[in-house]
Amino acid sequence: MTDVRVKICGVTSAEDAAAAVAAGSDYIGLNFFPPASRSIRMEQAAAVLAAVPDGVERTALFVDPDDVLIGQVADNLSVGSALPERNAYTLIQLHGQEPPARVLEIKERTGLPAMKVVSVRDAGDLAAVEAYSEVADQLLIDAKAPEGSNIPGGHGVPFDWSLLAGRTWSLPWMLAGGLTPENVAEAIRLTGATQVDVASGVEASPGVKDHNKLKAFVAAAKS
């Protein structure tokens, strides 16, 4: 086994969260972008989070969130009575067009570290890494959405992994975009990633995880 860390994103049920944890996932991601097929409402999130033990990162994903939505996270409104002893989330993931100043503002409002997504189609897209390296705590390098899509991620399409070969950055980063149990080991080999993120690649249908695929993905990433 290796020290590669795995994030299972777009979790919508306590059963899927428990299965991801049992498989060895290091992060569980909840999506709060309503147009996405894997989105979850704030009031539903507590049941999912209750299945995630301490020691596993609880990630809240947003796309260009307004202050009202960020305020709900900052005030812990999604916890309710299910998790009275701890914070709901340990990490904010920003998957929109948030400029560096907005990333800092969201970190200050929530008191949480932030992982900023940088969407990539060609080498020029990686220029954004430098600006966000000054304000984010982690980066997630993902495939750019197809033209015309209003959903920034979760399309199950990889980018050219060779763009990342030999690159190093000053902060932790995670690889996403079209990863599956069948290709994740090769993606890690080509990019040097020590963290990987998956949503559609371990699903039976959008928002519903396939528990056998979860196990296979985590095993392949960590082996």
Q: Indicate the burial class of 169 (C-beta count within 10 angstroms; 0-12, 13-18, 19 or more).
A: middle
Q: For residue 1, which amino acid is it? A: M
Distance CA 129, CA 116 (A): 9
Catalytic hit among 16, 64, 125, 142: 142
Contacts of 38 (CB under 8 A, 6+ apart): 9, 10, 11, 12, 31, 154, 199, 206, 207
CA distances in angstroms from 198 to 107, 164, 191, 192, listed in the order given: 24, 18, 16, 17
Catalytic hit among 9, 16, 26, 197: 9
Clarify whether 75 is annotated catalytic.
no
Clarify whether 9 is annotated catalytic.
yes
Q: Which two tokens mark 109?
A: 């409002």
Element at 18 (helix H, strand E): helix 14-23
So which residues are the catalytic ones?
A: 9, 142
